[in-house]
A = this chain, B = another copy of it.
Amino acid sequence: MSILVVGSVAFDTLKTPYGERTKILGGSATYFSLAASYFTQVRVVAVVGEDFTTEHENVMKSRGVDVRGIEHSKGKTFHWGGEYGENLNEAKTNFTDLNVFENFQPRIPAEYADTEYLFLANIQPELQRQVRESMPKVRLVGGDTMNLWININKPELLETLKGVDILLINDTEAKMLTQDSSLARAARKTLDLGPRALVIKHGEYGATIFFKDGSYGTGFRAFRAPALPIEEVFDPTGAGDSFAGGFMGYMASQKQVSREVLKKAMFYGSVMGSFAVERFGPERLQELTRDEIEERFQLFRSLTHLD
């Protein structure tokens, strides 16, 4: 089934212990859609500027991504500059040129009206809510957010969360959102805000999905997927969005969203996140095969399963 991601398509200028790159393709919607494209039909709503070329667009198109929802606007494309030190879990932002992204007003093309899965990548909560409400027929809504919105747009964010089925955030965001220093309690409190399931991403330690009681079946209220111990993380940018792409993409490829499907989706999320960091930008996500993905899925299984 088709999945629509609304988020950023951007340029990144970055530096990691393995090298630097200037103005390479980035953005949450880019990582998400490339990762999800291995599982299902992906549609994108985003805005880019005049410096976004056919070549850039072809990166997504050659993976079969439907880019009709990418609006080409006067001005420059969103451009983020940052660097990672030895601690690859934290980026230092050098500059954030929002450019055309500053006045982004997501417009859903008529051709996208039959979309069944929706992922609200990290944009302003009020815009997320508008998109979600403009698509009453979607079967399942995934969403992301960030510390900035928790700090300055919390009331809007809380309103948005009521319309999100599965929220994907990291440890810090979950604790900040609920003002609770215990991850397990923060998870329960977040589920009280609306979502039926919550994925908390722990960076190099993997991710945990917490289920609201009775949601998506029965069983233990949590499931944990590992991350791969990788010696050479070239560039951690986009790992979280690639996780979300694998997670939502796999889900959308299945007939029903059961707890069993969500557990496997957690593994596919981790798999796509692990590929993303092996090269700079979304390079690695452009050239994968389904066989490589299945092989790594089995590696994750052997990393965690007793038998």
Interface string of A287-307 (1 = CB under 8 A from B): 000000000000101111111
Min CB distance A269 to B, Å, is: 13
Q: Is A208 an interface residue (CB 8 A)?
A: yes
Contact bitstring A262-278, B, C-beta under 8 A = 1, else 0? 01100100000000000
Hey, which chain B residues are within 8 Å of A217, CB to CB?
Answer: none
Complex partner residue of A267 from B183, B187, B299, B306, CB under 8 angstroms: B306
Chain B residues, Cβ within 8 Å of A229: 183-184, 187, 208, 210, 222
Q: Tell whether A137 is near chain B: CB-to-CB under 8 Å.
A: no
Render A144-184 as a binary contact track against B, CB cut-off 8 A, 1 for contact. 00000000000000000000000000000000000001111
- Please, how many angstroms separate the alpha-carbon atoms of A230 and B221 in the complex? 12
Q: Give the distance to chain B from A202, nearest Cβ to Cβ, in Å.
A: 6
Q: How many residues of A contact B (CB 8 A)?
A: 38
- Collect the chain B residues with CB atoms within 8 Å of residue A182's CB: 231-233
Residue of B nearest to A220 (CB): B302
Q: Is A95 an interface residue (CB 8 A)?
A: no
> Residues 246-281 of chain A: 1 if any B CB is under 8 Å from the residue's CB, otherwise 0?
000000000000001001100100000000000000
Take A205-B202, A205-B205 as given contacts and tell me if A230 and B184 are in contact as well, using a CB distance cutoff of 8 Å.
Answer: yes
Is A185 an interface residue, CB under 8 A from the partner? yes
Query: What are 21 A-B contacts defined by CB distance under 8 Å?
Result: A86-B181, A182-B231, A182-B233, A183-B229, A184-B231, A185-B231, A205-B205, A205-B206, A206-B224, A210-B229, A219-B302, A220-B299, A220-B303, A222-B229, A223-B302, A223-B303, A224-B226, A224-B303, A260-B307, A305-B305, A305-B306
- A residues in contact (CB < 8 Å) with B: 86-87, 181-185, 187-188, 202, 204-206, 208, 210, 219-220, 222-224, 226, 229-233, 260, 263-264, 267, 299, 301-307
Besides A87-B181, A223-B304, A264-B306, 17 other A-B contacts (C-beta < 8 A): A182-B231, A182-B232, A183-B204, A184-B229, A184-B230, A185-B231, A188-B231, A202-B205, A205-B206, A210-B229, A219-B302, A220-B303, A223-B302, A224-B226, A224-B303, A260-B306, A267-B306
